[in-house]
Amino acid sequence: MQYRTLGRTGIKVTPYALGAMMLGGLGNPDRSEGIRIIHRALDAGINLVDTADRYGDSEEVVGEALKGRRDQVVLATKFWGPVDDDVNHRGASRRWIVEAVERSLTRLQTDYIDLYQLHRPDPDTDIDETLSALTDLVRQGKVRAIGSSSMRGSEIVEAQWMSERRGFERFRTEQPNYSILDREIEREILPVIERYGMGTLVYSPLAGGTLTGRYRAGQDNDLFRSTRTGMQHFRDERRLAVVEQLIALSDEVGVKLTHLAMAFVIAHPGVTAAIAGPRTMEQLEDTLAGLEVSLSDEVLDRIDAIVPPGESIGAMDMVYRGPEVGDPSLRRRPAASRSAA
Q: What gap in Å lies between CA 275 and CA 278, rounded to an integer? A: 10
Spell out the domain ranges in the chain: 4-213+258-295
Ordered per-residue pLDDT tens for the chain, 341 residues:
799 999 999 999 999 999 999 999 999 999 999 999 999 999 999 999 999 999 999 999 999 999 999 999 999 999 999 999 999 999 999 999 999 999 999 999 999 999 999 999 999 999 999 999 999 999 999 999 999 999 999 999 999 999 999 999 999 999 999 999 999 999 999 999 999 999 999 999 999 999 999 988 877 655 445 445 556 667 788 999 999 999 999 999 999 999 999 999 999 999 999 999 999 999 999 999 999 999 999 999 999 999 999 999 988 777 877 777 778 888 888 877 766 55
Active site residue 196: no
Q: What are phi and psi of 172, to 5 degrees?
A: -95, -15
Q: For 120-158, give the DSSP string.
A: S--TTS-HHHHHHHHHHHHHTTSEEEEEEES--HHHHHH
In CATH, 4-213+258-295 is 3.20.20.100: yes
User: In this structure, how many other beta carbons lie within 10 angstroms of the beta carbon of residue 319?
Assistant: 17
281 CB-side CA count, 13 A: 11
Pairing label, strands 4-5, 113-118: unpaired
Catalytic residue among 16, 55, 178, 203: 55
User: In this structure, how many other beta carbons lie within 10 angstroms of the beta carbon of residue 239?
Assistant: 24
